[in-house]
């Protein structure tokens, strides 16, 4: 078996983009399930996703009646896949650790899904999310559970010819999350830890075989402090 190849984050997702949506990824299943259970008031009309990837979450939000969708990502190939999904979405390339080229109060609902593990410092993107959030809005963060990332598990995939690709990822402890929320001026409205047993009878084998108490994703619901 060949050694894993480590690429930088943008390069890794550029390679992964074409096969990402079809990949048998239990973390994507868990994050999608968590988002599907979120209550999204209809007044939350403009949704923005940091690290939107192929746009699969934007598509799920569109299916729930959200008409104004904005997403950005570091990887041009992931964005190209998102553009194929719906040309009406506002999509652009940007790094969430730098200032985002959008005006203050651009969105009612801001989503992070499986992307902050690639960011060493949580506070800068969260401060930007706070700036971009409209009065009365909500930020939702669905990310790999700290107990899982602390075991050295992080985003990785195999190319169609069998090469194992890894990329930089950072384990964020609960105190890192809470400290960053504080620095960004955000308040926790709800924390949910999605264990296998919470993910429905249709959860794939990769989820079930870890056992019912394995915590797949952590799901924060936040509002301005
Ligand atoms: C595992 S994918 C998740 C994509 C999508 N959010 C989802 O749930 O399917 C992680 C995404 O985060 C993006 N990403 C990683 N670091 C980023 C950064 N600093 N700024 C913007 N996007 C970033 C990657 O390019 C990739 O598309």
Note the pLDDT tens digit of each residue in 2-54: 788 999 999 999 999 999 998 889 999 999 999 999 988 755 689 999 999 99
- 27 C-beta closer than 6 A to ligand 1: no
Count of positions (residues) in the chain: 225
Predicted local distance difference test score (pLDDT) of residue 164: 94
- 113 C-beta closer than 6 A to ligand 1: yes
User: Which residue minimizes the CA distance to atom 14 of ligand 1?
Assistant: 51
- Round to whole Å and give the CA distance between 109 and 138: 5
Domain ranges of the chain: 5-224
**Are the C-beta atoms of residues 139 and 50 closer than 8 Å to each other?**
no
The torsion angles phi and psi of 197, rounded to 5 degrees, stand at: -65, -20
Of 3.40.50.150, 1.10.443.10, 3.40.50.300, 2.40.50.140, the CATH number of 5-224 is 3.40.50.150
Predicted local distance difference test score (pLDDT) of residue 43: 53
Compute, in angstroms, the gap from residue 224 CA to the centroid of ligand 1: 24
Q: Ligand 1: which of 16, 17, 73, 156 to mutate, judged by most atoms within 8 Å of the beta carbon?
A: 73
**Are the C-beta atoms of residues 213 and 197 closer than 8 Å to each other?**
yes
Q: Ligand 1: which of 76, 115, 120, 172 to mutate, judged by most atoms within 8 Å of the beta carbon?
A: 115
Return the ∠ at Cα 15 (arms to 159 and 84), rounded to 5°.
Answer: 115
Please report, for residues 31, 70, 91, 220, the alpha-carbon distance to residue 145 in angstroms, rounded to integers and kept in the order given: 11, 26, 28, 11
Atom of ligand 1 nearest to the CA of 155: 1
Q: Ligand 1: which of 12, 97, 118, 122 to mutate, judged by most atoms within 8 Å of the beta carbon?
A: 118
- Round to whole Å and give the CA distance between 49 and 96: 10
- Which residues are 84's β-sheet partners? none
Helix (H) or strand (E) holding 10: helix 9-20
By DSSP bridging, strand 46-50 and strand 68-73 are: parallel
- Could you say which residues of the chain have pLDDT below 70? 1, 42-44
- Round to whole Å and give the CA distance between 160 and 152: 24
Compute, in angstroms, the gap from residue 78 CA to the centroid of ligand 1: 8
- 154 C-beta closer than 6 A to ligand 1: no
Count how many Cα atoms sit within 13 Å of the Cα of residue 183 in the half-sphere of its side chain.
14
């Amino acid at each position: 078996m060949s050694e894993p190849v480590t690429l930088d984050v943008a390069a890794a997702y550029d390679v992964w983009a074409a096969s990402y949506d079809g990949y048998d990824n239990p973390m994507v299943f868990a994050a999608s399930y968590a988002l599907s259970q979120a209550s999204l008031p209809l007044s939350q009309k403009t949704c923005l996703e940091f690290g939107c990837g192929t746009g699969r979450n934007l598509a799920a939000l569109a299916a729930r009646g959200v008409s104004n969708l904005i997403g950005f990502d570091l990887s041009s190939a992931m964005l190209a896949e998102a553009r194929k999904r719906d040309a009406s979405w506002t999509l652009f390339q940007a790094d969430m650790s730098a200032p985002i080229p959008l005006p203050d109060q651009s969105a009612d609902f801001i989503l992070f899904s499986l992307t902050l593990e690639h960011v060493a410092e949580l506070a800068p993107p969260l401060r930007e999310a706070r700036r971009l959030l409209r009065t009365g809005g909500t930020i939702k963060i669905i990310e790999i559970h700290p107990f899982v990332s602390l075991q050295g598990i992080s985003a990785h995939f195999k190319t169609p010819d069998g090469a194992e690709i890894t990329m930089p990822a950072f384990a964020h402890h609960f105190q890192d999350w809470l400290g960053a929320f504080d620095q960004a001026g955000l308040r926790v409205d709800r924390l949910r830890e999605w264990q296998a047993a919470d993910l429905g009878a249709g959860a794939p084998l990769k989820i079930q075989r870890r056992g019912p108490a394995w915590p797949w994703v952590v799901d924060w619901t936040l509002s301005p402090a």
